Amino acid sequence: MISSAQPAAESSTAATGGVEPLLSIRSIAKRFGSTTVLRDVSLDVAPGELLTILGESGSGKTTLLRLIAGFEQPDGGEIHMTGERLDQLPPYRRRVNTVFQHYALFPHLSVFENVAYGLRVRKVARAEIPNRVEQALALVKMTEFAGRAPAQLSGGQQQRIALARALVNQPKLLLLDEPLSALDANLRRQMQLELKSLQREVGISFVFVTHDQEEAMALSDRIALLRSGQLEQVAVPREIYNRPATAYTARFIGQTNLLRGLIENGVAQCGTVQWRCEAPDGPATFSVRPENIRLCDSTDAASRDSMRFRAVIRNQTFGGPTDLLELACPDGRALLVRIASRGNLAGECEFEFTAGDAILVKD
């Protein structure tokens, strides 16, 4: 079997598919003092797209968002929105709205006045304001809270008001800075679903910053993975998971096994197993997801395109529908394997994976 091990090239413009991008970030650089926070970041956002900027803390994801919002000025590069230069405008002249990490609802204004704030500032006709506010509150299912003060609301409710306050202005682009990070796990999952359907409903492009890769996968049309100020990979969730371009991506998004091996004359060799791999000769790293390694029954006939190896089960962790096995191979390698839950396993067993599951990644 021949693995299609070609690390996906930078596809920062992939999803735009020829459509004029809504937002175009071109070679943005940002430094704070002597620290370079962002280096040569280029990224397009398509109309109606939900793009996630994913990265560890300190990767520059929030800074990138603040550059789009206008709270920071870039040290290099340009940002354009619908053909208009954005990065030279002050934040209050950008047709962009932000949902802040801690919501930043004005404590001295009622929920109604918080939502109406942007409309009043933009001189929307006085008679129109109650209607617009009501619509926005209905969108986030918070109509009956209009008269409350923000301090009287729970975190999740404040979150919704922050969304309504931003969306009521009908921005072209909505920026969300880790908006769910302050919520507990259950509420968070529920809000993820609601956010996604809300985004479909309003059709506004969302740029969503998060450090949570599961959240990114659940929500996004595309994920832009930032690593120390540079884009590591930009792709749709399935591609970034199934075809990680680099070892970093493979490890950051989901769990993986990184196998270091050698390619010689179109054959990859890694420990006791080898398979055909059309890539230049030399040392190589492969990513094999734990769920792509299977536990073989003794009765299984070895299929021709699968590589089999024996390993000792060191540990078994029950995870509900699946079990995570920690293996020790004879050559000392440690591997993770995820299998459908079954009784306790022990001792040496036989495992297999196919060449197609070993993704060649850049180090």
Partner 1 sequence: MYSRTYKTAVAAPPLVWVAVFLLAPYAFLFCYSFWTVSQQAIVHHWNFGNYRQLLDNSMYPTVLFRSMRIAGSVTVLSLLLSFPLAYYLSFHSRRKELLYQLVIIPLWVSYLVRAYAWKTILGSDGVLNTLLQYVGVTQHPVEFLLYSPFAVVLTLTHIYTPFTFLPIYASMEHIPRNFVEAAQDLGAGPIRTFWTVIFPLSLPGALAGATFAFVLSLGDFLAPLLIGGPSGIMISNVVVSLFGAAYNWPLGAAISASLLLLVLALLFLVERIEKRLSFS
Cβ 221 to partner 1, closest distance in Å?
24
- What is the rounded distance in angstroms from the CA atom of residue 111 to the CA atom of residue 266? 65
Residue 272's Cβ-side half-sphere holds a number of Cα atoms within 13 Å equal to 15
The nearer residue to partner 1, 94 or 243, going by C-beta atoms, is: 94
The nearer residue to partner 1, 97 or 220, going by C-beta atoms, is: 97
The nearer residue to partner 1, 121 or 334, going by C-beta atoms, is: 121
Cβ 199 to partner 1, closest distance in Å?
19
The nearer residue to partner 1, 82 or 110, going by C-beta atoms, is: 110
Cβ 212 to partner 1, closest distance in Å?
21
Two tokens, residue 240: 């970034």
Residue spans of alpha helices (H) in the chain? 61-69, 111-121, 129-139, 155-167, 185-202, 213-219, 237-242, 247-252
Q: Which residue reads 């998004």 in tokens?
A: 253
- What is the rounded distance in angstroms from the CA atom of residue 75 to the CA atom of residue 101? 25
The nearer residue to partner 1, 104 or 187, going by C-beta atoms, is: 104
Cβ atoms of 282 and 260 closer than 8 Å: no
Residue ranges that bind partner 1, judged by CB under 8 A: 69-71, 90-93, 96-98, 100-102, 104-108, 117-118, 121-122, 149, 151, 165-166, 169
Burial class of residue 81 (count of CB atoms within 10 Å of its CB; 0-12, 13-18, 19+):
buried
The nearer residue to partner 1, 109 or 267, going by C-beta atoms, is: 109
Two tokens, residue 18: 């020829």
Cβ 42 to partner 1, closest distance in Å?
24
Choose among 195, 249, 242, 251: nearest CA to 227: 249
The nearer residue to partner 1, 32 or 106, going by C-beta atoms, is: 106
Cβ 33 to partner 1, closest distance in Å?
14
Cβ 105 to partner 1, closest distance in Å?
8
b (16+ CB within 10 A) / e for 160-174: bbbbbbbbbbebbbb
Cβ 148 to partner 1, closest distance in Å?
13
Q: Which residue reads 């793009």 in tokens?
A: 51
